[in-house]
Structure 1
Amino acid sequence: MRASLRTGSAGAAALCLSLVALPAHATPPGPGVRGRVIAQSTVGGTDYILRKITVPPGQATGWHYHDGPLYAYVKQGTLSHFDSRCARDGRYRAGDSLTESPGPTNVHIGRNLGSKPLVLDVLYVLPHGSPLSEDAPNPGCPFQ
């Protein structure tokens, strides 16, 4: 494991969603949603990827799920997290952390309903070679 990730992995795990899907077909992220890789490493058959994700006010990540667990830390703003039943299953403010469970039964969307950018540090723990997220269609919610 690279030193930059090793020194930050415990903190990142404590900190740490992506919430940001890769370019998607059914429900792409809103305009201006972006992610930047901070560190990455592969140990055994597992990829560890730490990213900074920014979601502008009024935008969302698009519906998606992950092939492995995800750990996130809210650095700025407020994350409104919704599950596939259209229910808000979490509201996370600056200083809060959250975990997302993997698999297609855990489809979700992250929305920034606030007035300032949402900034997250996200640690992905994925099977080697998996995408950061898997696109999913809107499960029938009245919002995107």
Structure 2
Amino acid sequence: MSRLAASAGGAVLVMGALQGTAAATPGSGVTGTIVAQRTVGGTDYVLREVVIAPGGTTGWHFHDGPLRGVVKRGTLTHNAADCSVDGIYRHGDVIVELAGAGYVHVGRNLGSTPVVLTVLYTLPHGSPLSRDAPNPGCDFQ
């Protein structure tokens, strides 16, 4: 596992930008590439590069395990289920997302430069990278 964490270049973080099954708020303008993955005991560790195009969104979602990541490029606007901006993350910033349906959130690229994230997912074995959730009533995606 230490090799996997080191592969992140010391980066630990966020954006579970996997577009889930047909749900109320699918993402748009998001791509992801798995860099490395490993299962240790009952935990899946997935290192992924996530790119969010200008104007793109992850869609509302949550994760079954915590995420940690770092912003490699661009600016990520992160909103909580109460519609508040709970973080604006720029190059070099570390993002942490908590696990569970109580932590529904969305990541958006409101800028003109692609957002590039290195994300480490720490999930119960066999869990999807993210689970779609309905928009909690916010007037944006």
Q: TM-score range by the shorter chain?
A: over 0.9
Query: Match of 1:112, as an amino acid?
Result: N
Q: How many residues align?
A: 140
The alignment status of 1:17 with 2:17, answered yes or no, reads no
Q: How far apart are the structure 2 equivalents of 1:87 and 1:104?
A: 17
| Larger helix percent | 1
Q: 1:28 aligns with which of 18, 26, 29?
A: 26
User: Which runs of 5 or more residues in structure 1 are unaligned?
Assistant: none
Q: How far apart are the structure 1 equivalents of 2:103 and 2:20?
A: 19
Identity %: 56
CA deviation profile, 1:80-135 (whole Å, cap 9, x unmatched):
00000000000000110110000000000000001110000000000000000011
User: Which runs of 5 or more residues in structure 2 are unaligned?
Assistant: none
| Larger strand percent | 2
Q: Check conservation: 1:112, 1:118, Cα contact below 8 A.
A: yes
- The CA deviation at 1:59 is 1.1
Normalising by structure 2, what TM-score?
0.93
- The CA deviation at 1:18 is 2.6
Query: Match of 1:42, as an amino acid?
Result: T
Counterpart position of 1:75? 72
Q: How far apart are the structure 1 equivalents of 2:56 and 2:19?
A: 15
Normalising by structure 1, what TM-score?
0.91
Query: Match of 1:28, as an amino acid?
Result: P
Counterpart position of 1:44? 41
Q: For residue 7 of structure 1, give the secondary structure of its aligned residue in structure 2.
A: helix
RMSD over aligned Cα atoms: 1.6
Q: For residue 56 of structure 2, give the secondary structure of its aligned residue in structure 1.
A: coil
Q: Check conservation: 2:72, 2:91, Cα contact below 8 A.
A: yes
